[in-house]
Copies of this chain bind each other. A is one copy, B any other.
Amino acid sequence: MLASRLFVAASALALSALAFAHGKEDDAIDYRMGLMTVIGWNFGPLGSMVKGKTPFDTADFAKHADRVAYLSDQILEGFPKGSDKGHTDAKPDIWANWDDFQSKAKDLNTQAKLLADIAKANDETKDKEQFKKVAEACKACHDKYKKKD
């Protein structure tokens, strides 16, 4: 009986530890990883069209550009204080240099919104020019704040 009770108590403790282990910060990590995956899913076709790997379809380009603009506005909320621990590629430097990180994330959103606006005009040359600025904004942040694979 005692052994059984101890087992129950230990199991409850383990479950509590698990619940504690997956707290708000882990939700934020899951969220930002999911968000980056969804942004990547939409950024990929833009890159393929710009590089000529797939035929340039201005309507499709505009659709994906709009999504990257919409989604990149939701990045910062995925990086609350305390979410530097756990299964994450985010460097602690993010929180040590929050103003710079915030500025880089906002720059991505600004460039992505510009791309979404430009894309409405169905001008392939201008689309390609602005796409590069979006890609540079992604890279500027990843180079400084994302752990290397």
Contact = CB atoms under 8 A, between A and B. Distances in A.
20 contacts: A27-B41, A30-B37, A31-B37, A31-B38, A31-B41, A33-B34, A33-B37, A34-B34, A34-B35, A34-B36, A34-B37, A34-B38, A34-B41, A35-B37, A35-B38, A38-B38, A38-B71, A38-B74, A67-B74, A70-B70
Count of identical protomers in the assembly = 2
Interface in A24-60: 27, 30-31, 33-38, 41
Interface of A: 27, 30-31, 33-38, 41, 67, 70-71, 74
Nearest to A37: B34
A61 to B, nearest CB: 16
A80 to B, nearest CB: 12
A27 B38 CA distance: 10
A83 to B, nearest CB: 13
Given A33-B34, A34-B37, 5 more contacts: A27-B41, A31-B37, A34-B41, A35-B37, A70-B70
Contacts of A41: 27, 31, 34
A37 B32 CA distance: 9
